[in-house]
Amino acid sequence: MESYLNEHFGRVKSKNSSGETLGKWRKLCGLVKNPKRRFRFTANLSKREEAAAMRRTNQEKLRVAVLVSKAAFQFIQGVQQSKYSVPEDVKAAGFQICAEELGSIVEGHDLKKLRNHGGTSGIAEKLSTSTTDGLSTDVDTLNKRQQVYGINKFTESKARSFWVFVWEALQDMTLMILGVCAFVSLIVGIAMEGWPHGAHDGLGIVASILLVVLVTATSDYRQSLQFRDLDKEKKKISIHVTRNGYRQKMSIYDLLPGDIVNLAIGDQVPADGLFISGFSLSIDESSLTGESEPVMVCSENPFLLSGTKVQDGSCKMLVTTVGMRTQWGKLMATLSEGGDDETPLQVKLNGVATIIGKIGLFFAVITFAVLVQGLVSRKYQQGSFLTWSGDDALEMLEFFAVAVTIVVVAVPEGLPLAVTLSLAFAMKKMMNDKALVRNLAACETMGSATTICSDKTGTLTTNRMTVVKTCICMNSKESIFTNTGGEVVVNEKGKREILGTPTETAILEFGLSLGGDFQTEKQACKLVKVEPFNSTKKRMGVVLELPEGKGLRAHTKGASEIILAACDKVMNSKGEVVPLDEESRNHLTATINQFASEALRTLCLAYMDLEKGFSAEDTIPVSGYTCIGVVGIKDPVRPGVKESVAVCRAAGITVRMVTGDNINTAKAIARECGILTDDGIAIEGPEFREKSQEELLKLIPKIQVMARSSPLDKHTLVKHLRTTFGEVVAVTGDGTNDAPALHEADIGLAMGIAGTEVAKESADVIILDDNFSTIVTVAKWGRSVYINIQKFVQFQLTVNVVALLVNFTSACLTGNAPLTAVQLLWVNMIMDTLGALALATEPPNNELMKRSPVGRSGNFISNIMWRNILGQSLYQIMVIWFLQTRGKMFFNLNGPDADMILNTLIFNTFVFCQVFNEVSSREMEKINVIKGLLNNYVFVGVISCTIIFQIIIVEFLGTFANTTPLTLQQWFSSILIGYLGMPIAAAIKMLSV
């Protein structure tokens, strides 16, 4: 079975599978009772095609718009201003431009219209906003603005009501056939025996169908609510906005045209808008247009489109168009119905369901043929072959219903749906544990993870930085305040607040402690060019025009070794610029190493005067600087990290640190966390890149720390580790550069800390509390999902095997089936919906982290599971066969009701065998299956409901379920036989496989 599954169903990746691949495996699932239900939470391939077509249209539209805008720019001076009349309702609200005009300007890249409206400043004026202070927070004005221009929210598909799920559950082909059987049974029964006695069989089937439908619909409806809650969490995005002169963080859904948004590397553009000011702004428009080349946005090309991402640089943006008026809004409306890719486990279990379904269909046809042959033989022997009565028709109908119900029981429709249920349950619980899962398959992948490649800053450390040591030769406030991506502002309460990354915040705090004034220093010089920090360059730089015509100066800061290598002069203790000789360089290098060995993050500051001039189009020089000094920043290790790393090691998961920091800093932190051991290797990115393929194969298993790494280094390491060891979890902090690469299908699971929007969108799991110990929790849940599904599969396949063989062999040997259609429907519900609820939602325990990872290539239906399935099935088949052949004698059953009582006993015993087998299935290897049972309220609830309903069915619904009330002795015997399955299951577990 495993080889067949791997050959036909093992080609779907955990993410980013092509539509063609997803479509192929669905065609292989030939026997699907209810396609609407089976594939409900999976990708809607037609919607994806719509989205792709829209992207292609956008791409062409934007390409034409850019070409037209370029042509218009060349002739713009000679263009006569066209008249634009402001709609009366817009005028009445206090604005001078309507939403449609704004939309046509930005979406069409219409420079001509923009110029006619007075450029960005003119648009701001017509929107009654300030490009410096932003919107007024007056409630009435904001409400008017919202009425005229709309809100920044996208149209979402309406939540489906409970009755929609009821209707979809009724689409089950086998249930519809049984419904027809029930209808015919009612007509024939009432015609022959009158009301109500003749309607009992038909009404019994109808009641069973309705019960199955209601329970199924309730379960599916609850799943849909969980997915909806998770979807809302995924869409929570915040952005920095200036309103009333104060910079504040707010949800993108509260944005209105006229808002001033501050964008930096890693931000998603939250609405359509216009560039006000900024530096080196590079925008990735691939999410909207499909184009991979970044677009440079500036005063000459000021158009910013919603849904695109800031790849480099920073800017202030004027919001012009929001919500469904943007192309991104229309695209999101299409994508919202696209659904998630099928997870590998869902695909594999669909394969299992298909294989077993075909086997079940074969047995159902044979069973029906044997039962009909038995009826025909009996009538032939009685000499009544040519005379058929209503009773004969009802008996034939019952045979057909039994055959159809065998298909109902045999096709384990619940297998792939149990995965969805388990994943939805786990995702909801993980969200409570501060882990937001964006990709269903992430839970499965995490369960198979053998390696965690983690960033240092913000993951292993607190990301709350403070400058604790310095080696600075002069007053450096200018270099600190002008060469920064951060900002010092006054908030609404009048208190000073530092905005920016933790590193920038620490350095600005240090500059302020020296007595510096941020605003004074900023305003004293004019910024000519800014090159923001990124993880590839590991440095940032600015060029300033000094006051009073003193010329131009470049400042740079970044990784100490890189900046120091770019210096040929240094400030001495007297503040004099002197050549950077060998002695001075060695002293600074020793200082850097000393700081790093104390687990401090080091940054070097430097400057140079640009005596030959500088143009904004030029790149900032990379050498010839004067070293100002070095700062050492303390970023303490998070509490609990060392213990979490130890838990991972015990679980067979190796934790490796990948960081851009100095190797001495990285080693010091890694030792403190317990990552770097005596037999491990710490290596720098540049050295790693120079290794040959053969050297890498020997080296990579031993690498525990990689310092001074680039995103490409991390990508290469993760790819090699995944090839060698199995699933790899790559944890990234801000993730601006490396998260998108790690999101690719060939390198497993990308896990992001709640940093930039790029990191969030690219990550499969977002750690909301920035805590490494949460990653361990996710690993535990991942293993729990995998094990829970295995438990459920073991339980369901046991019921499948027994139900099939019992009815088939009985039909062949005795000419009748001991389990009726109604009884089989009840058994189907026990093993399908209720079984999934009980076993697929078991919470994780600490024991899960004391075993080795499952492994990507391991058989899902393991030898241990086959041992348990076959052993338990053999016991149940022997018991039921004994009851069929010796039951009357054993229980001393006589009289006309003997057959009915015996069949009720068989049914009751069979159900209690499944109840106790469900308990035994809680552990596949351990003997003690009771431990923690009472803590799982869902499991206890399901078992309790099963027992209560079984009592009701046997004692009170006999006329509908073909049962009769049993004596206390008979109840005790049924329960005892079922219970004996538990010690037998325990004995079977002792057999080695």
Residue closest to 606 by CA, chosen among 624, 582, 633: 624
Question: Measured between alpha carbons, how far is 208 from 212 in angstroms, rounded to an integer?
Answer: 6
Residues contacting 75, CB < 8 A, separation 6+: none
Question: Measured between alpha carbons, how far is 344 from 352 in angstroms, rounded to an integer?
Answer: 12
Residues contacting 707, CB < 8 A, separation 6+: 659, 660, 661, 662, 663, 665, 666, 667, 682, 683, 684, 685
Q: What is the DSSP string of 37-80?
A: HHTTTB--HHHHHHHHHHHHHHHHHHHHHHHHHHHHHHHGGGPP
Residue closest to 301 by CA, chosen among 289, 286, 315, 321: 315
702, 676 contact by CB (below 8 A): no
- C-alpha pair distances (Å), 690 with each of 538, 657, 755, 809, 954: 19, 20, 31, 68, 75
- The 8-class DSSP code of residue 439 comes to S
333, 34 contact by CB (below 8 A): no
Q: How far apart are the first and last CA of the chain?
A: 18
800, 363 contact by CB (below 8 A): no
The CA-CA-CA angle for residues 584, 586, 589, to 5°, reads: 110
Question: Measured between alpha carbons, how far is 88 from 60 in angstroms, rounded to an integer?
Answer: 35
Residue 53 carries which side chain, given as an amino acid letter? A
Question: Measured between alpha carbons, how far is 906 from 893 in angstroms, rounded to an integer?
Answer: 13
SS3 506: helix
- Among candidate residues 220, 272, 312, 455, the one labeled active-site is 455
Residues contacting 24, CB < 8 A, separation 6+: 11
Residue 456 carries which side chain, given as an amino acid letter? K
As given in the structure block, the two tokens for residue 556 are 């740079």
Question: Measured between alpha carbons, how far is 272 from 326 in angstroms, rounded to an integer?
Answer: 7
- C-alpha pair distances (Å), 858 with each of 412, 727, 785, 853: 22, 12, 16, 10
CA 758 to mean position of chain CA atoms: 15
Residues contacting 202, CB < 8 A, separation 6+: 182, 183, 184, 185, 186, 189
Based on the residue annotation, tell me whether 433 is a catalytic residue of this protein: no
331, 300 contact by CB (below 8 A): no
CA 64 to mean position of chain CA atoms: 36
The CA-CA-CA angle for residues 28, 31, 34, to 5°, reads: 115
Question: Measured between alpha carbons, how far is 339 from 704 in angstroms, rounded to an integer?
Answer: 38
- C-alpha pair distances (Å), 989 with each of 36, 139, 790, 797, 801: 38, 69, 15, 17, 19
The CA-CA-CA angle for residues 795, 796, 799, to 5°, reads: 95
The structure tokens 């060392």 sit at: 642
Question: Measured between alpha carbons, how far is 942 from 445 in angstroms, rounded to an integer?
Answer: 29
620, 555 contact by CB (below 8 A): no
Q: Which stretches of 582-654 are DSSP H helices?
A: 582-597, 641-650
As annotated, the active-site residues are: 455
